[in-house]
Amino acid sequence: MPARSKGFPMMPSLRHLPACAILGLLTSCNFVSLPPAAEPPAGLVRKNTVSTYTPERPPEVQVWLIADKLHTGMVFPYDWLLESGFVPPEHFPDCKFVTFSWGDRMAYVNKRWLTAPEIVSAIFLPSSSVMECIPIQWNVTEVSPNQHIWMKSIPASAGPYIASFLNHCTIPGEDGKPIAIGPASWGGGVLLESPHSYYFPRICNVWTGQALEACGADIFPLMSIHRDTLAFEAQRNGFVQIWDGSGNKNAAARR
C-alpha cells in the first residue's frame, strides 16, 4: 500500500498485535539479541583509506529501511560508515551503499526456511547469529525492486553511533577485522559472526529497530517485533516510503 505523503501512517489495529508477534516469531527467519549502541569514543579517528568514494560530506545523509513481508534490514552509504569508524571485513569491495541485516546463523548459512523443530529451538533456546553485509553499486530502489523501502535524511553526525552499533554486532579476528563465516544470501556480500544470541523476543526486526535508534529514532520495543509495526514506528520517526515493492515509485520519491 503506498505511503501517504502527509501525516502519519495508519496505526495497525491493536487487536492484531498478538497475532503479528506470533506470526513474526514463527515465520521470520532471523531472531536477535543486541545491546544498545555504545557511544563512540571522543577521539574517534575517521577512516577513509578503504574506500575511494569520498565526496565532500553534506550535513545530512540518506539512510534506508528495507523490508519484504516479514524481514527487515537497513542500507547506509559505505564511505560515510568508513569515515564514521565502521570496520569492514577483509576484502570487502568498494561500493556506494551496504545493506545490513541480522539473524539466525543456521537460516542464513543454509539459505532456507527453518524446520518446525529448529523454529522451536530458536524461540526457546539462544542460538548463534550472524550479520549480513551486502555491497550495493546502484541506487537502492534499483537493487531491491521487490522490497518495500523507506528513506530518511539524518544528520551526518549520527555516523559514529551507527558505526559503533554495527561494530558491536561482529566478532573481530586477530587482525581486528570482523570474522566472516561465508557468503551472503545474494549480492556478493558476506556473513559476519555475531557475539549476540538469537531468541524471542529479540528477533531480526528488533535488531533493525535498534539500528533505527542508532539513527536517532525513538522506537517502542514491542512495536519492533513485527515488520508492519516496525514500519509504522519508522514512519512515525520521519521515514517516508519511496518504493512499494511492486515496481511503482510513490509520489514522495519524485519530490
Give the residue with greater pLDDT, 144 vs 249.
144
The pLDDT-based confidence of 164 (bands split at 50, 70, 90) is very high
Percent of the chain residues past pLDDT 70, beyond the cut: 73
In a domain, 32, yes or no: no
In a domain? residue 36: no
Q: How many residues does the chain have?
A: 255
Give the separation between CA 122 and CA 211, rounded to whole angstroms. Answer: 22
Dump pLDDT digits (tens) for 14-24: 444 444 444 44
Residue 19 domain-assigned? no
Please check the confidence at residue 107 and state whether its pLDDT lies above 60. Answer: yes
Dump the DSSP string for 69-125: SS-EEEEEEHHHHHHTT--PPTTPPP-SEEEEEEEEHHHHHHTSPPPHHHHHHHHHS
Q: Is residue 43 part of a domain?
A: no
Q: Quickly list DSSP for 146-182.
A: TSEEEEEEEEGGGHHHHHHHHHTTS-B-TTSSBPEEE
Residue 46 — very low, low, confident or very high, per pLDDT cuts 50/70/90? very low
Confidence of residue 119 (pLDDT cuts 50, 70, 90): confident
Residue 23 lies in a domain: no
Q: Please say if the pLDDT value at position 252 is more than 50.
A: no
Answer yes or no: is 156 within a domain.
yes
Closest CA to 249 of 151, 153, 152: 151
Look over the chain and give the mean of its residue pLDDT values, rounded to a whole number: 80
> What pLDDT score was predicted for residue 185?
84
Instruction: Determine, yes or no, domain membership for 154.
Output: yes
Q: In what order do the strands lie in the sheet with 148-155?
A: 180-183, 190-198, 127-136, 97-104, 72-77, 60-67, 148-155, 240-244
How many domains does the chain contain in total? Answer: 1
The pLDDT value recorded for residue 113 is 72
The Cβ of residue 18 has, within 10 Å, a number of other Cβ atoms equal to: 9
Q: What is the pLDDT of residue 202?
A: 81
Does residue 19 sit in helix, strand or coil?
helix
**Structural domain containing residue 140:** 56-254
Is 89 in contact with 14 (CB distance < 8 Å)?
no
Q: Is the pLDDT of residue 35 over 70?
A: no
Question: Among 10-19, 177-186, 192-201, which stretch is predicted with the lowest mean pLDDT?
Answer: 10-19
Give pLDDT tens digits for 71-100: 999 999 999 999 999 999 999 999 999 999
In which residue are the cell numbers 497475532 written?
19
For residues 229 and 249, what is the distance between their CA atoms, to the nearest angstrom? 22
State the pLDDT at residue 39: 53
pLDDT(5) > 80: no
Task: Look at residue 50 and tell me whether its pLDDT is greater than 90.
Answer: no
pLDDT value of position 186: 86
Burial class from Cβ neighbours inside 10 Å (0-12, 13-18, 19+) for residue 6 reads exposed
